[in-house]
Amino acid sequence: MTGAAQLLEVQNLSVAYRQGSGWSRAVDDVSFSLRAGEVFGLVGESGCGKSTIALQLLGYRHLSMRVEHGDVLFKGQSLTSMSRGELDTLRGDRIAFVPQNPTTALNPGIRIGRQVAETMLAHGRIQSLESTAAISGILKLVRLPADPVFQRRYPHQLSGGQQQRVCIAMALACDPDLLVLDEPTTGLDVTTQEQIISLLSELRGRIGVAMLYVTHDLALLSQIADRIGVMYAGRMVEIAPTDEIFLRPRHPYTQGLIASIPVIGEPSASRSRPLRGLLRRRELPSGCPFAPRCDHALDRCATERQELQSIDDNRAVACWRWREIAPIAATPNSATMAGAIAHRASVLSVDHVSVVYGPRSRGFRAVSDVSFDIKEGEVFALVGESGSGKSTLARAISGLTAPSTGTVRLRGEELAGAVRDRSDQQRRLIQYIFQNPDASLNPRARIGEAIARPLVHFFKMDGAKARATVVGALDDVRLDGSYQERFPDQLSGGERQRVAIARALAAKPALLLCDEILSALDVSVQANILTLLQQLKSEHAIAMLFISHDLAVVRFLADHVCVLYGGEVMEIGPREQVFAPPFHPYTHSLLHAVPVPLQRPDRPSKASKAAEPKRSGAGCVYAGRCPWQIGSICETERPPWREGRGGLGLRCHLTLEQLNARADWPPPKQEGIAV
């Protein structure tokens, strides 16, 4: 393998962006290489420079950006000194790009067949835009229907997964040598993500294209990459084969990154050393950029620059102490408190709630006939892919969208449908925390004002008293009191989310509605917020409705889990029961879709059929996509509700025994994995 020719070489690359009057370095002296047919993963937190490198592989140039040093060689040719014309013949033909967001990458006004054909036409692969045979060949390659009807569709008529397949098809249209993928699955559901990943690994086997895969998700990378480069603050801190990264991470940052990944196979495992702090570009030392956050840092680290050194044939690490730092070891699980919850009083009960958008008889049923109870101090998780009705349900509980039928009760009192008809007390007891902390804080209000507002509004506090309370509220979320003078744009994403949590806690709520509050954050920040939530749960005994698509996080935090599909409850029960057989077929495919470090999908994806949920008529909403479908009964008859052990309930035509027999999760564990 080492003898193979280098397809791509990045040599001592430094890239800077214009910032005010000066230049700030986003990529600092990075070198790595890629062999033909190899998949190289580039991983790091936001702002580490990984996307900048990806763009350099395409010879991207911009007025506010400059390559200060180094070069990118593709088959020996320098991409940084190539003329625009030469780049144009190379890009799309030999090097192709798959963007993060297919919805904005595809032109909404052009039929997809034509969009794919345009690339081929530009590089002389076909003679006219009408050559449907060539287009259908490429669509088949990415497992899309190849018929002319499909080719005449517009992007908005496709699902997100199909759109990303079209983008991949466009990238593969000219049979390139190198595919650059920038977070290609970040915006997709976990089941769709699994399909895209298995498509990519299949393509790689079939057509032998090399890939540079940029992502923040290390677990995902382990499923596809041969080698992984870990970046921190613009520097490459470690390069190693995938297995080595997970089994024996050498750099303290890699170790922290791996420890921060919630792993679905190990519930409630509080890991040894998740990363602390966060990357502050303004305060980097002259030496190792990771020194301020490193547990192993010595004085020497802050002043002496760490170069990437080869430590054996195919690994390199930028840390002079790598020999002394022991690979991380897992610590025992923390105790769970699930058992005690059953006897507590209910805070919120949702009773046969449906939400229909549009006219009631033929409108869109976003949520249909959902019932559950949330007890005091319980974390209740709602799980499902986008469009499953999770957020709609949270909006119905908060009063932003009135339920069409059914009732919501708070501590036994029935709540009015619309928030303006509820009492101040009821509004105070339910607090909503949003997904995106950038949007949930008023950019023109200081942090102190934002947190003081609920105090003044609900408790009629005066200025001085509110200020004193704000310090306490900030302390609750482990932020310093001095933060109240700042504006939101002076905070990092994780800090902003803490402020949003502090603001919600200031109202002394009985129930927190947490709507995907971790998904906009980096993995190390996620781990810190998760720990914070865990602490709040035990300190304040607040109930939480925790909406997430991340089953690993849910398994870590939740006491009770409810799985939604197409607006209906598929399965509900205590965490231990939901994450153990018998599984509902949908839960089962969700669990299988979660990337687990070093466990590659060895068989075709379970959720291979991407169909829309059936929202009308008889039968099961999951029919048509269900891998365990037993026949026409699924299409025609609504499945019965089955009650299992320990409060588990699920809706399926298969009996619990049959489901039990089909379950094969968790997959057998591999030995020696450090995570």
Binding residues vs another protein (CB under 8 A):
19-20, 274, 276-278, 282, 398-400, 419-420, 422, 424, 427, 430-432, 434, 436, 439-445, 453-454, 457-458, 478-480, 482-483, 485-487, 489-490, 495, 503, 507, 528, 531-532, 535
Instruction: For helices 463-476 and 493-506, give the axis angle rounded to 10 degrees.
Output: 120
Q: How far is the CB of 103 from another protein (least distance, A)?
A: 19
Nearer to another protein, 101 or 270 (CB): 270
Amino acid identity for residue 230 in this structure: V
CA 648 from centre of chain: 28
CB of 398 to another protein, least distance (A): 6
In whole angstroms, what is the distance from residue 29 CA to residue 564 CA? 47
Measured CA to CA, the distance from residue 26 to residue 111 in angstroms comes to 37
Residues 225 and 223: their CA atoms lie apart, in Å, by: 6
**Nearer Cβ to another protein (22/668):** 22
> Measured from the CB atom, is 204 or 422 closer to another protein?
422
Q: Report how far residue 546's alpha carbon sits from residue 517's, in angstroms, rounded to the nearest whole number.
A: 8
| Strands (DSSP E) found in 330-451 | 346-357, 364-375, 379-383, 405-410, 413-414, 430-433
CB of 443 to another protein, least distance (A): 7
Q: Residue 124 or 277: which CB sits closer to another protein?
A: 277
The minimum distance between CB 17 and another protein, in angstroms, equals 13
User: Is residue 8 within 8 Å of residue 42, measured between CB atoms?
Assistant: no
Residue 368 has φ and ψ, to the nearest 5°, of -130, 120
Q: Are 80 and 59 in contact (CB under 8 A)?
A: yes
Continuous H helices in 411-515: 424-429, 437-440, 447-459, 463-476, 493-506
Q: How far is the CB of 355 from another protein (least distance, A)?
A: 17
The 3-state secondary structure of 497-559 reads: HHHHHHHHHHCCCCEEEEECCCCCCCHHHHHHHHHHHHHHHHHHCCEEEEEECCHHHHHHHCC
Length of the chain: 675
**Closest CB 400 distance from another protein, rounded Å:** 7
**Closer Cβ to another protein, 9 or 266, answer by number:** 266
CB of 397 to another protein, least distance (A): 11
How far is Cα 527 from Cα 275, in angstroms, rounded to an integer?
8
- Our CB check for another protein shows the closer of 503 and 651 to be 503
Rounded Cα distance between 347 and 478, Å, is 27
Q: How far is the CB of 331 from another protein (least distance, A)?
A: 12
Query: Quick check: bond before 666 cis, omega within 30?
Result: yes
Q: How far is the CB of 275 from another protein (least distance, A)?
A: 9
Tokens of 462: 């005066």
Between 87 and 278, CB nearer to another protein:
278
Tell me if residue 203 falls in helix, strand or coil: helix
* Alpha helices by DSSP H, 92-189: 102-105, 112-122, 132-141, 148-151, 160-172
Distance between CA 535 and CA 529 in Å, rounded? 10
The nearer residue to another protein, 225 or 500, going by C-beta atoms, is 500
Closest distance to another protein from the beta carbon of 154 (Å): 26
Which helix (H) or strand (E) is 602 found in, with range? none
State how far the Cα of 386 lies from the Cα of 188, in Å rounded to an integer: 9
Q: What are phi and psi of 277, to 5 degrees?
A: 65, -170
CA gap 66, 23 in Å, rounded: 9
> Helices (H), strands (E): how many in the chain?
24, 24
Minimum CB distance to another protein, residue 442 (Å): 4
Q: Which is nearer to another protein, 17 or 154 (CB)?
A: 17
**Distance between CA atoms of residues 290 and 283, nearest Å:** 11
Q: How wide is the angle at C-alpha 96 spanned by C-alphas 93 and 97, nearest 5°?
A: 155
Residue placing its CB nearer to another protein in the complex, 179 or 259: 259
- Smallest distance, Å, CB 39 to another protein? 34
- CB closer to another protein, 117 vs 474: 474
C-beta of 290 vs 432, nearer to another protein: 432
Least distance in angstroms from the C-beta of 301 to another protein: 17
CB of 488 to another protein, least distance (A): 9
Residue with Cβ nearer another protein (357 or 641): 357
Element (H, E) at 394: helix 390-398
| 290/483 with CB nearer another protein | 483
Q: At what angle are helices 585-593 and 190-207 packed, to 10 degrees?
A: 50
Q: What is the nearest approach in angstroms of another protein to the Cβ of residue 91? A: 33
Nearer to another protein among residue 84 and residue 444 (C-beta): 444
C-alpha distances out from residue 298 to 231, 249, 273, 304, 319, Å: 21, 20, 18, 10, 11
Residue 493 CB, nearest distance to another protein (Å)? Answer: 13
Q: Which is nearer to another protein, 10 or 374 (CB)?
A: 374
